[in-house]
Amino acid sequence: MRATWLGAAHTVESAFVRSGTATVRLIVDAGVEDAPIHRRVRSWLGVLGARPAGIQTLIVPSRSSDLSGPLLPAESTAGNTAGKVDVTVVVGGGAVLDRVKLATLEHDYASWTRTRSGLVALPPGPGRTAPLVAIPTTLGTGAEASAVALAHLGNRRLLVMDRSLRPTAYAHDPAAYRTLPGPLLREGLAEILSRLVGPVVGDAVGDPLTDRLCLGLIARLVECADAVVAALDDGHEPGPAALGEAARIGVLGHSDHVQRPHQPWAVKLWALANEVAGLTGGAKMPTTVRLWPAFWAAVDAGASNLGSAAQLRAVWSTIRTAHSKPLPANPGDGIHALLTHWGVQADSSCDALPIPLVTERVLRAWGAGLPPYQGVRAGDIEHLLERTRTTTPVGTFTDIIPPRTAAALPL
């Protein structure tokens, strides 16, 4: 992980050299305020030349940003660094990283209330006035290197997309993940897998080089996840090497080699889970986990407007070979078994939603003339949701082994 810190250090030092000063806006997730990673970053900035008086620290809530109001508290423009920030450094989870990515670009987000699309491309803008360095404290989102950000606008969840959103640099510290409860580590691993497999399954045409790269990343991610899960199941702290490699793979999941510019609308499951979670108020990954087995079963059964059965089988063959335990040959049953082995918990609250309501919301945000769900009909979504409700929810951690009682890994 040293390479990412070297890149981040170069960004900070270059900003200091250009300005002749050393002023930093340090934005910290409230969930890690005064945690070891917070103190480590302050010390690191000091080594790079920032004096304590030149570091403006801003603590922000851990929740996702709401585009209808200020993205950062008013204090962000107060103090001795107001109007003169050489570099912004953000330390926190994916929601906080996305908040800062949006806040450091000047756009009138509140004016988007009239859009029906769940995906919004940023209009041209001036860009950031200072470099942004992102240091994640959660595993899975890859927000530290992505060109997208998830935000709320009223009761909707929008995916904002533009290359200008990508931070200037990022740094990984596997030790930061040691404050995460075991269930969040498990969810994070599942999220990385979901991001890797989605573009492959959704690309009916395929690309030999891209497919080979993706399948290699998928296999290695499964091996790393198995190592992390085995440690958690035994009540031990996962090794930093496996956590660090999983984080690196998570970043690669946002690269063009995985996300496929030639098929930008390949990922269908994420969009569905995003709208369902918006209706239930639930978290993104537990909702995804509830829908995932039925979604893959539908694709495997020939729902070509949701994905390619041939591509899915290639993905599933790779996962079965890489995983440390036997898995069913059927992808739908298989992903159910894999996620159960990993101890990921599904959120079944979506089962109580009226199917017509979910269908209308998904098509309004992603279909009905919009490219992401082009060719997907109301009946396709309704059938998928009905299939979900007849699928046993993915087993929780307690279905496999008594859960670790500690709320967080020891420091």
The pLDDT of residue 235 is 94
Measured in whole angstroms, how far is the alpha carbon of residue 77 from the centre of its chain? 28
Average pLDDT over residues 48-53: 91
Query: Residue 382 maps to which CATH number?
Result: 1.20.1090.10
Give the residue among 289, 315, 309, 285 at the shortest CA–CA distance from 297.
309
Q: What pTM does this model have?
A: 0.91
Tell the residue number behind the tokens 């079965």, with chain if given.
320
Average pLDDT over residues 165-185: 91
Would you say residue 376 lies in a domain? Answer: yes
Instruction: Tell me, yes or no, whether 48 and 95 share the same domain.
Output: yes
Q: Is the pLDDT of residue 399 over 60?
A: no
Instruction: Tell me, yes or no, whether 214 and 171 share the same domain.
Output: no
Instruction: Tell me, yes or no, whether 216 and 90 share the same domain.
Output: no
The pLDDT of residue 69 is 76
Amino acid, res. 408: A
The pLDDT of residue 297 is 98
The 10 Å Cβ neighbour count of residue 411 is: 9
Q: What are phi and psi of 254, to 5 degrees?
A: -95, 0
The pLDDT of residue 79 is 39
The pLDDT of residue 403 is 34
Instruction: Tell me, yes or no, whether 223 and 268 share the same domain.
Output: yes
pLDDT tens-place string over residues 344-397: 999 999 999 999 999 999 999 999 888 899 999 999 999 999 999 999 999 743
How many domains does the structure of the chain reveal?
2
pLDDT tens-place string over residues 122-137: 888 888 989 999 999 9
**Residue 273: left (phi > 0), alpha (psi -120 to 50), or beta?**
alpha
The pLDDT of residue 83 is 56
**Alpha-carbon gap, residue 225 to 75, rounded angstroms:** 40
SS3 state of residue 65: coil
Q: Which residues of 137-159 are buried (b: 16+ CB within 10 A; e: fewer)?
A: bbbbbbbbbbbbbbbbbeebbbb
Structure tokens at 224: 């790393």
User: End of a domain among 113, 141, 176?
Assistant: 176
Instruction: Tell me, yes or no, whether 7 and 103 share the same domain.
Output: yes
Query: Pick the residue with more confidence: 75 or 161?
Result: 161
The pLDDT of residue 126 is 81
Average pLDDT over residues 219-239: 96
Angle at 71 between CA 70 and CA 77, to 5 degrees: 75
Instruction: Tell me, yes or no, whether 134 and 167 share the same domain.
Output: yes
Average pLDDT over residues 56-83: 70
The pLDDT of residue 396 is 44
**Alpha-carbon gap, residue 389 to 409, rounded angstroms:** 35
Mean pLDDT of the chain: 89
Angle at 267 between CA 66 and CA 307, to 5 degrees: 150
Instruction: Tell me, yes or no, whether 98 and 210 share the same domain.
Output: no
Q: Is the pLDDT of residue 46 over 50?
A: yes
Q: What is the DSSP string of 89-103?
A: EEEE-HHHHHHHHHH
Instruction: Tell me, yes or no, whether 26 and 12 share the same domain.
Output: yes
The pLDDT of residue 113 is 64
Query: Pick the residue with more confidence: 104 or 410?
Result: 104
Query: Residue 172 maps to which CATH number?
Result: 3.40.50.1970
SS3 state of residue 354: coil
Contact at 8 Å (CB) between 212 and 262? Answer: no
The pLDDT of residue 177 is 87
The pLDDT of residue 311 is 96
Q: Is the pLDDT of residue 265 over 50?
A: yes
Name the E strands within 86-155. Answer: 87-92, 119-121, 132-136, 148-153
Would you say residue 410 lies in a domain? Answer: no
The pLDDT of residue 75 is 52
Q: Is the pLDDT of residue 404 over 70?
A: no
Q: Where are the alpha helices (DSSP H) in 168-239?
A: 182-202, 208-233
Give the residue among 211, 209, 189, 210 at the shortest CA–CA distance from 314.
211
Q: Is the pLDDT of residue 80 over 50?
A: no
Residues above pLDDT 70, as percent of the chain: 92
Angle at 133 between CA 132 and CA 139, to 5 degrees: 125
User: End of a domain among 107, 142, 176?
Assistant: 176
Give the residue among 32, 2, 407, 39 at the shortest CA–CA distance from 174.
2
pLDDT band for 3, please (50, 70, 90 cuts).
low
What is the domain extent for residue 317? 181-399
Would you say residue 409 lies in a domain? Answer: no
**Alpha-carbon gap, residue 263 to 47, rounded angstroms:** 44
Q: What are phi and psi of 410, to 5 degrees?
A: -65, 145
The pLDDT of residue 136 is 96
Task: Lowest mean pLDDT of 54-63, 204-213, 259-268, name the range.
Answer: 259-268
Query: Pick the residue with more confidence: 206 or 144?
Result: 144
Distance in Å from the first CA to the final CA of the chain: 19
The pLDDT of residue 410 is 33
Instruction: Tell me, yes or no, whether 189 and 265 share the same domain.
Output: yes
Structure tokens at 307: 């994905």
The pLDDT of residue 361 is 95
Q: Is the pLDDT of residue 48 over 60?
A: yes
Query: Pick the residue with more confidence: 110 or 393?
Result: 393
**Alpha-carbon gap, residue 74 to 60, rounded angstroms:** 11
pLDDT band for 266, please (50, 70, 90 cuts).
confident
Order of all β-strands in the sheet with 148-153: 119-121, 156-161, 148-153
Angle at 259 between CA 256 and CA 262, to 5 degrees: 80
Instruction: Tell me, yes or no, whether 195 and 81 share the same domain.
Output: no
Instruction: Tell me, yes or no, whether 249 and 363 share the same domain.
Output: yes
